[in-house]
Amino acid sequence: MANAMLIDESRCMGCRGCQVACKQWNDLPGEETENWGSYENPPELSAVTWTKIKFNEKVDGDQVQWLFLKQGCMHCTEASCEAVCPTGAVRHHGEYVLVDQEWCIGCGYCVAACPFDAIHSVFEVREGGEEKATARKCVFCVDRTTNDLPPACVKTCPSGALDWGDRNEMIAKGKARVAALQANGHPKANFYGEHELGGLHRLYVLVDEPSAYGLPVDPRLATSNVAGQWLSGIVTAGVVAAVPFWLLFKRQRAAEAKEEASGGGE
No. of H helices and E strands in the chain? Answer: 9, 10
DSSP-H helix ranges across the chain: 17-25, 80-84, 109-113, 142-145, 152-156, 167-182, 210-213, 226-237, 245-261
Other CB atoms within 10 A of residue 253 CB: 11
Q: For residue 223, what pLDDT is reported?
A: 74
The reply to whether 59 falls in a domain is yes
Predicted TM-score of the model (pTM): 0.84
- Does 125 share its domain with 144? no
Q: Which domain range does residue 131 map to?
A: 80-137+225-261
- Does 67 share its domain with 111? no
Q: How many domains does the chain have?
A: 2
The reply to whether 3 falls in a domain is no
**Pair 49, 31: CB distance under 8 Å:** yes
User: 62-80 pLDDT, tens per residue?
Assistant: 888 899 999 999 999 999 9
Tell me the CATH number at 90: 3.30.70.20
The reply to whether 145 falls in a domain is yes
Q: Say how many Å lie between the first and final Cα of the chain, rounded.
A: 11
- Does 131 share its domain with 155? no
- Does 90 share its domain with 199? no
- Does 63 share its domain with 147? yes
The reply to whether 1 falls in a domain is no
**What are 95-102's contacts with CB under 8 Å, separation 24+?**
95/2, 95/3, 95/4, 95/140, 95/167, 95/201, 96/139, 96/140, 96/142, 97/73, 98/139, 98/142, 99/134, 99/135, 99/136, 99/137, 101/134
Per-residue pLDDT of the chain (266 residues; tens, 9 = 90+): 799 999 999 999 999 999 999 999 999 999 988 888 888 889 999 999 999 999 999 888 888 889 999 999 999 999 999 999 999 999 999 999 999 998 999 999 999 999 999 999 998 776 777 778 899 999 999 999 999 999 999 999 999 999 999 999 999 999 999 999 999 999 999 999 999 999 999 999 999 999 999 999 999 998 745 545 545 555 544 444 444 444 455 555 566 656 566 554 44
**What is the sign of the dihedral through the CA atoms of 111, 19, 74 and 43?**
negative
- Does 154 share its domain with 200? yes
User: Judging by DSSP bridges, how do beta strands 202-206 and 3-8 pair with one another?
Assistant: parallel
Indicate the SS3 state at residue 60: strand
The reply to whether 220 falls in a domain is no
